[in-house]
Chains A and B, each alone.
Chain A
Amino acid sequence: MKKWIPIASGLLAGFIAATINFADFSAKTNTEAALSNKTDAEKVYVPFGQKDDYYLFASGGHSGQMFIYGVPSMRKIRTIPVFSQDSATGYGFDEHSKKLMGGYTWGDLHHPAFSETKGDYDGKWMFATDVGNSRAAVVDLETFTTKDIINVPNTAGPHCAAFVTENTEYMFLPTRFAVPVGQKYESLDNYSQNYRGVMSAVTFDEKNVKLNIAYQVALPPWSYDLSDAGKKGSADWAVMTTYNTEEATTTMEVNASQADRDYIVLFNWKELEKMVKDGKYEDVDGQKMIYPEKQKGGIYLVPVAKSPHGVDVTPDGKYFIASGKLAPSMTVFSFEKSFKAVENKDFAGERNGIPIINYKSVMEREVNPENALGPLHTQFDDKGMAYTTMFISSEIVKWDPKTGKTLDRVPVQYSPGHSVSAEGDTVSPDGKWLIALNKIAKDSYLSVGPSHPESMQLIDISGKMKVIQSAPVDPEPHYAQMIKADKIKTINVYPKDEKNKDAVYKQNDTKIVRKGNEVHVYGIAMRSRFIFDAKAKRPDVIEVNEGDHVFIHLTNIDFDEDITHGFAINSYDLNIEVQPGQTNTIEFTADKAGTFPLYCTNFCSALHQEMNGYFLVKPKN
């Protein structure tokens, strides 16, 4: 035998033994095991240099804003003004955002919705609706700024929104309040005849960053509460809940809660799209309006226990789950059975010209966890398990939609509206975390008087549910969405836009141009000075005459991440922001004569305090 064979085989055997004993074949399971060994404090601690795993986009309710948090640390990162003015960012003051605001000063931002590709968040855009002034908005996730806002006519409060279809073909905005078409004056005695609950199909032109209304549907004068788009096999369909099918016109608390059953509206948006294409609509003040009782098809009613709140589609797209609110149960409906019922015309009559599907034919199961009261909304985890908020019994209930079995429950403090799990309304939820968006936080934090902030409680759902962190939040997150952080690709600075006529990138190109009584300033902001006219004796002074119409175009030429400048004129009630590389315009009339210091409002450098000049307004004789 050759000598090397025993030596080599001995070495080989040694290596194999060492590998089996010491090598790490299970990096993943090890970290998961490590995670479960962490204390609650360790699970939520994100040290400097590391970032959170998820972004949380929480609606700001009647603040008109959106709040960005990091998960699991629950640290607030940013406020994005959407429907309300925000002097901190100059939103609603500079020309672009002022125009977007359309003269309104506030909004009621309810339900955020990410743009989707194949039913999954793609991290590009965020949509939001305004129940206060009937608008819809889109936020660019490269800059976390609002890019477009559209007014939705014939609608009064698109609460039942926003939800986007699987590839962001449409965002549907059904209304909470019924109004006459055109919102014309009409006696409430004629409510059933002349009021309508209009739903709008909004499209998003990604290239031009514009929202448009494709068509509207004049649904019966009921209140439309919440909605969800189908997924996978049900992708062409959408569902929404209704209440006040009683068509009550006063003391709704009582009168809209009389009927034992309300409806889920089930509609096929592809069919509606085709109807519009085929001309099956009426022109109403420039809107393409489908009247379901005249232009038949595509819309059906599914009876459901009274006054349901949320309706949520399971990640596999096979079921939709209605939460009872006033009935202590969740009802699971089958899409497949619904499609069959539609095909076989398995109807139990009509309501307002819309076919009613037989409840028994499509209902999969009614789920009634013991003593769980006020089910509102359902989210899902990676295994398809459902998590429903119980507003009245103040808890989250985990249950299996396939069996109806209750799996776990955890109390929250107090009265959760929505909850949100990690990517929990997509085709592939991540599990891991669930956040309860609670309405009452009276004993959670240091007291701030009779009213308190809302609370967001972080629940670890990787094993038995446990509340491990709580963060106060301003009014008022109705819904939130949680997205994996690496899906969002922000920019560091605004790129130079040589086509922008208002932009100036070189100090020497700054100028002040007068056209009659219009004064156009093309200026720059840089650490730590303003230059409005490089050739002037004092480059940081703007001098105009009383009554002049002033346009100040300001470019931040610090192309350096986070070096943001502000621009305010003392006593002129205006303030704008220019982010690195950005050009912004402010337009106003110099209606006050006098001497007004102007200054940088966003602390920018060691000599920020010196970053100022004067706005001089010469009086009219």
Chain B
Amino acid sequence: MNDSSRKNSKLSITSSLLIGLSAILIVVSLFFPWWKMVFYAPQYPEGLNIIVYPNKLEGEIDIINGLNHYIGMSNFGAENFPELSYLAYLVGGLAVITLVTAILRNRKVLYGLIGIIAIGCLAGILDLHFALQKYGTNLSPKAPIKIDPFVPPIIGQNTVANFVTHSLLGTGIYFVIAAFILLLIPLWKDRKK
């Protein structure tokens, strides 16, 4: 094969299958939590959870909200995260685009897809960061217990009053990372020699 034919060639069947698998992983990720924060305190050695799925919040949200009012933090709840109402559809759409990419086996489409996912991830991280910043810094001045504003990290540990919070990535996001890596493999595998 000469250079020009390779240049216009489609991605290999193996690459196509990898991209297809990537689409499946993206769909699977919807059924697992993407991110969570665990609150530990002397009175809560078992930990209280905020578990974030693409479409819902789970965990001991009511208990955490009940406690948060002492420091004047506003309530966590699906109503404060409009993202939860459409994020699942975005992710579903992404899976469809990925699947189409697998079928088209077009290199440029794959570049585009990788770009979209990279931008999406960045946007997601920023969104979460600003949400955490809003919760941690926008504290009611009438709170019975006054504390300094704080921003919990997206991954890692933070201490607020008697609580130590641990922010962790969820199983779902690992599926997304795996899906992203699967998309990168064809770039290397079908690279120009």
A interface with B by C-beta (< 8 Å) = 526-527, 557-560, 605-607, 610
Within the complex, the shortest CB–CB distance from A101 to chain B, in Å, comes to 33
Q: 18 interchain pairs (CB within 8 A)?
A: A526-B66, A527-B66, A527-B67, A527-B70, A557-B62, A558-B63, A558-B66, A559-B62, A559-B63, A560-B60, A560-B63, A560-B66, A605-B70, A606-B70, A606-B145, A607-B70, A607-B144, A610-B144
- Which chain A residues lie closer than 8 Å to B70 at the CB level? 527, 605-607
Looking at chain B's contact residues, the main secondary structure is: helix
- Which chain A residues lie closer than 8 Å to B66 at the CB level? 526-527, 558, 560
Looking at chain A's contact residues, the main secondary structure is: loop
Q: What 1/0 flags go to B67-87 for Cβ under 8 Å of A?
A: 100100000000000000000
In the complex, the chain B residue whose C-beta lies closest to that of A610 is B144
Q: Bin the interface of chain B by size.
A: under 10
Q: What 1/0 flags go to B6-30 for Cβ under 8 Å of A?
A: 0000000000000000000000000
Docked Cα-Cα span, A605 to B60, in Å, equals 18
Q: What 1/0 flags go to B41-76 for Cβ under 8 Å of A?
A: 000000000000000000010110011001000000
- Other A-B pairs, 7, CB within 8 Å; known A526-B66, A558-B63, A607-B144: A527-B70, A560-B60, A560-B63, A560-B66, A605-B70, A606-B145, A610-B144
Within the complex, the shortest CB–CB distance from A253 to chain B, in Å, comes to 56
- Which chain B residues lie closer than 8 Å to A557 at the CB level? 62
- Which chain B residues lie closer than 8 Å to A527 at the CB level? 66-67, 70
> What are the nearest 3 A-B pairs in CB distance?
A560-B63, A527-B66, A607-B144
Docked Cα-Cα span, A26 to B60, in Å, equals 43
Docked Cα-Cα span, A279 to B52, in Å, equals 65
Within the complex, the shortest CB–CB distance from B106 to chain A, in Å, comes to 53
Within the complex, the shortest CB–CB distance from B46 to chain A, in Å, comes to 9
Docked Cα-Cα span, A266 to B66, in Å, equals 60
Within the complex, the shortest CB–CB distance from B63 to chain A, in Å, comes to 5
Docked Cα-Cα span, A605 to B67, in Å, equals 10
Within the complex, the shortest CB–CB distance from B40 to chain A, in Å, comes to 15
In the complex, the chain A residue whose C-beta lies closest to that of B48 is A560
- Which chain B residues lie closer than 8 Å to A559 at the CB level? 62-63
Within the complex, the shortest CB–CB distance from A477 to chain B, in Å, comes to 33
Within the complex, the shortest CB–CB distance from A615 to chain B, in Å, comes to 23
Docked Cα-Cα span, A434 to B112, in Å, equals 76
- Which chain B residues lie closer than 8 Å to A610 at the CB level? 144
- Which chain A residues lie closer than 8 Å to B60 at the CB level? 560
Docked Cα-Cα span, A527 to B66, in Å, equals 7
- Which chain B residues lie closer than 8 Å to A605 at the CB level? 70
Docked Cα-Cα span, A610 to B63, in Å, equals 19
Within the complex, the shortest CB–CB distance from B42 to chain A, in Å, comes to 13
In the complex, the chain B residue whose C-beta lies closest to that of A526 is B66
- Which chain A residues lie closer than 8 Å to B144 at the CB level? 607, 610
In the complex, the chain A residue whose C-beta lies closest to that of B63 is A560
Docked Cα-Cα span, A605 to B66, in Å, equals 11
In the complex, the chain A residue whose C-beta lies closest to that of B60 is A560
